[in-house]
A and B are shown apart, each in its own frame.
Chain A
Amino acid sequence: MALALKSSLSVLPSKQVPSISYLSCSNSFFKSLASVRFKSAVAMASLEVTQTRSISQTFSKLKEQGKVALIPFITAGDPDLTTTSKALKVLDSCGSDLIELGVPYSDPLADGPVIQAAATRALANGMNFDAVISMLREVIPELSCPVALFTYYNPILKRGIEKFMITLRDVGIQGIVVPDVPLEETENLRTEAAKHGIELVLLTTPTTPKERMKDIVEASEGFVYLVSSIGVTGARESVSLRVKSLLQDIKQATSKPVAVGFGISKPEHVQQIAGWGADGVIVGSAMVRLLGESTSPEEGLKELEALTKSLKAALP
C-alpha cells in the first residue's frame, strides 16, 4: 500500500523534498486512516500532494496564477495548544498560502508587546517545544498549505541544530525563520536545514545597506522576508512608503519571491503592498491579539476567521 502511494506521488517534480518525506506522508496517511475521519482515497492523495509542496513551490504556483500569498503568523500555545491547532485549520481553510508558527521564547528581541505577551502567556501555561511538535504531528497532515516555524536561536542550539531540523522534517515543517541569527552566522543552520529539506528564510530590513541586502537575498531560501519598518513586530497605522522602494531594490537583485511583514494588520495595508509588487504579505500581531485577548477561545477563532477572510479578499 505504501509503495503504491509512493509511486503515485512520485510525479511531483520536487528536488527540494527528499524522499524520506514521502515516507512520513505515508505514515501520516495511515495515522489519519486510523483516526475516525473518512475521506476518499483520492482526496487523501491530493492532500498528500499539496502537503509536500515546499515554500518555494507554493510561491511559484501562486505566481503562475497571478496571486499574492497571504501568510498569517500565530504564537503556539496562546491561549493554549488546542486553540492553536484549531486556529491553524481555520487559517488554512480561509485561504492562507503559508502559515508561520511562532515558538514562544523567554526573551524575544524582535517582538513587540502583543507577541511578547502571547509568548509569556504560552510559557506560563506550560507550553514547551515537544508539546508544539506533538500538536503539529497531528495537525499538519490536515493542512493544505505549508507551515514554517518562527523561532529564536537558543532553543535550536539547546537541542542541537541537526536534531532540531530532523524533528521539523519529521512533522512536515517546510521552512524556518530565525530572527536573531544574522547572515554571517547562518552557515551551520543553512547546511543542516538544506540536508533535511527545510528552507531557511532570511530577513532584510530598511537599515540593511544595498550590498548586504544582495548577499542576504542570494542566500535566502523559500522567500525573502522584507521587514517593513525599523522596529519590532506590532501593528502600525500605515505602511511606510519606504517599502515600495525597498521592494524595487530587492526585485532588481533577485527573482526570488519577497514577502513583507511587521506592522501589517488591515486589508488596506495588504492591498497597498500587493500593489507595490510584493509576492506575499505576513500578518502577525493583528492575528495574535485576536486569539490571545478575546473573551473566549471560540470568540477568538471566529474573529480570526473574519480577519483572515477580509485580508484574503483584499489580495489578488
Chain B
Amino acid sequence: MATSISLRNPNVSLGTTFPIARFASPRSSIVTLRMPGESMACPPPLATTAPSAAVETVPIGERPDRFGRFGRFGGKYVPETLMYALSELETAFETLSKDQEFQRELDGILRDYVGRETPLYFAERLTEHYRRADGTGPHLYLKREDLNHTGAHKINNAVGQALLAKRLGKKRIIAETGAGQHGVATATVCARFGLECIIYMGAQDMERQALNVFRMRLLGAEVRAVHSGTKTLKDATSEAIRDWVTNVETTHYILGSVAGPHPYPMMVREFHTIIGKETRRQAAEKWGRAPDVLVACVGGGSNAMGLFNEFVNDKEVRLIGVEAAGHGIESGKHAATLTMGEVGVLHGAMSYLLQDDDGQIVEPHSISAGLDYPGVGPEHSYLKDIGRAEYYSVTDVEALDAFKQLSRLEGIIPALETSHALAYLEKLCPTLPDGTKVVLNCSGRGDKDVQTAIKHLQL
C-alpha cells in the first residue's frame, strides 16, 4: 500500500539509519490510471497532445521511499555537511506528525492567523464563459488560496516549518525568494514567532520586486542581495544552501517549494496537503463526490502538490499542471521544465531541469517570477513519468489574457502564476464533457503583479 507521511494520519516510520546506496523495494499500490487525454466519457478529447486513450495499470510507488526518492527522482544531493541536518529534520518531522499538541497548535494558527479554511468557490461567470453553444460545459471551481494571510498558499508551509524550527530549538531562519512571496511569507511567520530572519534574493529580482523587498524589511527581515551567477532565484537558492551549510547548527532553512533535498519535497507537500483535504470535504458537501479534474500552476510545484496529493490514489481524478512557456517553448526563453527539460541534479534533488549541453543550469524566463525556476519538484517529475499527472505550458501573453479575464469575469485579480493555470482552461474546457467538475487552485492574488501588468496591458 503506498504510504506517505500525513500530518493527521502518520503511519510510516522513516528511521534514522544511514543506508549505503541500496534501493529499498517500494511498497506500491497498483492503481489503474487513465492515460492523459482520455476523457471520462464521449466526446473524445480535442487536445492534440493526448496519446490515444487506453487504461493502463501502473504501480504508484512510495512517495517518497526511505531514501527520499520518488522513483528515480528526489534524493539528497547535497554536500556532506548537510546530511546530518537533513536526517535530523526528517526525524523531527516524523515525530511532530504524531504529536497531538503540535497538530493542535498548527491547526490553531492556520485557522486564526492564516484564515483557513479557504473557500471552494463556484466561478459562475467563468463557467458561463466556457459553456458551449449547445449549453454543455464543465463546472469551474476556484480553491481560494489567494484569500490566505499574505495572499498566497506559501504561508501554509512557512507556518508549519517555523513551528518545526522552534521545536528544533533553531532561532535563525533563512529562506530564498524569487518574486518575494515566499520571502514575505517567511518574514511574516518570523515576525509572528520572534525568529531572526534572513532572506536571500537575486540582485536582479530585487530590482524587479522592490515593493516586496520593502515588505520583507518592514516585517523585520534582513534581505541579502545575491550577486553570483545570473543573480536570480536559482542563485538565491544556491546561496541559501551555502548559508545553511555554514550555519547548520543554529539555523533552519525554510525552503519555499517541493524541491530541494529530502525531506523537503515531502515535508512541504505535507504542509500544503490541507488544500487537497479541504477540497475533498468541500466537494463532497457541494456535489457529493470528488472533483474530476484538478488544475494548478507549477513553478517549483508546491501549490499543485498541495492540491493533488490528496487525490493521487483516486484513479478517476485527472491531475493537470501548467508551467510557464514564457516567450514560447521554441524561443528558449521559458520555464517549461517538465516539457523541455532533461533529468539532472539541482539544489539537492534529481528532477527535470533546464540545462545546456554542458550540464550548466540555464536561466529560465517567465513574466511571473514565481514560476521562473529552472527546476521542478521531484514528485512532479515522477508523476509525469508514470503518467499519473499531465503537464502543459502557457505563454506570458496567454497568462496576461487570463489575468485580465478573471478580473473581468469574477472580480478576482489572480496572481500571474495562477493566471497560467487559468489560461490553460482555454484549451481544456472545450474537451470536457458536460458537468465535469474542475477545481483550479487559485494559488495567489495579483495585487503584487499590477506593476508588471501595467507595463504589458492596455486597459
* Residues of chain A at the chain B interface (Cβ within 8 Å): 105-113, 116-117, 120, 123, 128-129, 152-159, 179-187, 202-209, 211-212, 215-216, 219, 227, 230-232
Task: Report the tally of A-B residue pairs with Cβ distances under 8 A.
Answer: 138
Pairwise interchain contact A179-B79, C-beta atoms closer than 8 A: yes
Does any Cβ of A come within 8 Å of B248's Cβ? yes
Pairwise interchain contact A212-B359, C-beta atoms closer than 8 A: no
Measured in the bound complex, the distance between the Cα atoms of B18 and A184 in whole Å is 8
Smallest CB–CB gap between B74 and chain A, Å?
11
Pairwise interchain contact B20-A215, C-beta atoms closer than 8 A: yes
Closest partner residue, chain B, to A262 (CB atom): B81
Pairwise interchain contact B76-A207, C-beta atoms closer than 8 A: no
Smallest CB–CB gap between A294 and chain B, Å?
21
* Given A109-B245, A154-B355, 15 new contacts (CB under 8 A): A106-B230, A107-B347, A129-B359, A157-B345, A158-B342, A158-B357, A182-B83, A184-B18, A187-B21, A203-B80, A207-B81, A208-B83, A212-B84, A230-B246, A231-B246
B47-83 contacts to A, CB under 8 A, are 67, 75-83
Smallest CB–CB gap between A232 and chain B, Å?
5
Pairwise interchain contact B77-A180, C-beta atoms closer than 8 A: yes
* Residues of chain B at the chain A interface (Cβ within 8 Å): 18-22, 67, 75-85, 228-230, 234-235, 238, 241-242, 245-249, 342-348, 353, 355, 357-361
A-B pairs, top 9 by smallest CB distance, nearest first, are: A158-B359, A155-B359, A187-B21, A231-B246, A106-B360, A205-B81, A110-B79, A106-B361, A154-B344
Measured in the bound complex, the distance between the Cα atoms of B357 and A155 in whole Å is 9
| Known pairs A107-B347, A120-B229, A159-B359; A230 contacts B77 (CB<8 A) | no
Pairwise interchain contact B344-A158, C-beta atoms closer than 8 A: yes
Pairwise interchain contact B76-A109, C-beta atoms closer than 8 A: no
Pairwise interchain contact A208-B245, C-beta atoms closer than 8 A: no
Measured in the bound complex, the distance between the Cα atoms of B18 and A158 in whole Å is 27
Pairwise interchain contact A208-B345, C-beta atoms closer than 8 A: no
Residues of B within 8 A of A206 (CB): 81
Measured in the bound complex, the distance between the Cα atoms of B235 and A156 in whole Å is 20
CB<8 Å pairs between A and B, sample of 30: A106-B229, A106-B230, A106-B361, A109-B241, A109-B348, A110-B245, A111-B242, A116-B228, A116-B229, A154-B344, A154-B345, A154-B346, A157-B343, A158-B357, A179-B79, A179-B80, A180-B77, A180-B345, A180-B348, A182-B78, A182-B83, A184-B20, A207-B81, A208-B80, A208-B81, A208-B84, A216-B80, A230-B81, A231-B81, A231-B246
Smallest CB–CB gap between B178 and chain A, Å?
15
Pairwise interchain contact A185-B77, C-beta atoms closer than 8 A: yes
Contact residue among A105, A187, A203, A205 (Cβ-Cβ distance under 8 Å from B360): A105
Residues of A within 8 A of B357 (CB): 158
Closest partner residue, chain B, to A117 (CB atom): B228
Smallest CB–CB gap between B44 and chain A, Å?
39
Contact residue among A113, A155, A211, A227 (Cβ-Cβ distance under 8 Å from B358): A155
Measured in the bound complex, the distance between the Cα atoms of B20 and A157 in whole Å is 20
Pairwise interchain contact A120-B249, C-beta atoms closer than 8 A: no
| Known pairs A180-B345, A184-B21; A207 contacts B85 (CB<8 A) | yes
Measured in the bound complex, the distance between the Cα atoms of B78 and A180 in whole Å is 4
Residues of B within 8 A of A183 (CB): 18, 20-21, 80
| Known pairs A180-B78, A207-B248, A211-B18; A108 contacts B359 (CB<8 A) | no
Residues of B within 8 A of A186 (CB): 21
Pairwise interchain contact A158-B358, C-beta atoms closer than 8 A: yes
Smallest CB–CB gap between B43 and chain A, Å?
43
Residues of B within 8 A of A219 (CB): 20
Residues of B within 8 A of A110 (CB): 79, 242, 245
Smallest CB–CB gap between A127 and chain B, Å?
9
Smallest CB–CB gap between A210 and chain B, Å?
11
Measured in the bound complex, the distance between the Cα atoms of B67 and A219 in whole Å is 19
Closest partner residue, chain B, to A181 (CB atom): B77
| Known pairs A110-B79, A184-B19; A232 contacts B344 (CB<8 A) | no
| Known pairs A106-B361, A158-B344; A230 contacts B80 (CB<8 A) | no
Pairwise interchain contact A231-B245, C-beta atoms closer than 8 A: yes
Smallest CB–CB gap between B231 and chain A, Å?
10
Pairwise interchain contact B21-A158, C-beta atoms closer than 8 A: no
Residues of A within 8 A of B353 (CB): 154
Smallest CB–CB gap between B50 and chain A, Å?
30
Smallest CB–CB gap between A221 and chain B, Å?
15
Measured in the bound complex, the distance between the Cα atoms of B84 and A204 in whole Å is 11
Smallest CB–CB gap between A226 and chain B, Å?
10
Residues of A within 8 A of B245 (CB): 109-110, 230-232
Measured in the bound complex, the distance between the Cα atoms of B345 and A204 in whole Å is 21
Q: Count chain B CB atoms within 10 A of each CB in A113, A153, A184 and give the residue with the most.
A: A184
Smallest CB–CB gap between A208 and chain B, Å?
6
Residues of B within 8 A of A203 (CB): 79-80
Closest partner residue, chain B, to A179 (CB atom): B79
Measured in the bound complex, the distance between the Cα atoms of B347 and A152 in whole Å is 11
Closest partner residue, chain A, to B68 (CB atom): A184
Pairwise interchain contact A185-B346, C-beta atoms closer than 8 A: no
Smallest CB–CB gap between A156 and chain B, Å?
7
Smallest CB–CB gap between A71 and chain B, Å?
18
Pairwise interchain contact A209-B84, C-beta atoms closer than 8 A: yes
Q: Count chain A CB atoms within 10 A of each CB in B22, B77, B80, B229 and give the residue with the most.
A: B80
Pairwise interchain contact A155-B18, C-beta atoms closer than 8 A: no
Measured in the bound complex, the distance between the Cα atoms of B230 and A123 in whole Å is 11
Smallest CB–CB gap between A114 and chain B, Å?
11
Closest partner residue, chain A, to B242 (CB atom): A232
Measured in the bound complex, the distance between the Cα atoms of B27 and A72 in whole Å is 47
Smallest CB–CB gap between B53 and chain A, Å?
34
Measured in the bound complex, the distance between the Cα atoms of B82 and A215 in whole Å is 16
Contact residue among B79, B355, B359 (Cβ-Cβ distance under 8 Å from A109): B79
Measured in the bound complex, the distance between the Cα atoms of B231 and A107 in whole Å is 11
Residues of B within 8 A of A156 (CB): 359
Residues of B within 8 A of A152 (CB): 345
Measured in the bound complex, the distance between the Cα atoms of B347 and A182 in whole Å is 13
Pairwise interchain contact A184-B67, C-beta atoms closer than 8 A: yes
Residues of B within 8 A of A216 (CB): 80
Measured in the bound complex, the distance between the Cα atoms of B292 and A232 in whole Å is 48
Residues of B within 8 A of A215 (CB): 18, 20
Residues of A within 8 A of B238 (CB): 107-109
Residues of A within 8 A of B228 (CB): 113, 116-117, 120
Smallest CB–CB gap between B83 and chain A, Å?
5
Residues of B within 8 A of A181 (CB): 77
Residues of A within 8 A of B346 (CB): 107, 154
Closest partner residue, chain A, to B230 (CB atom): A106
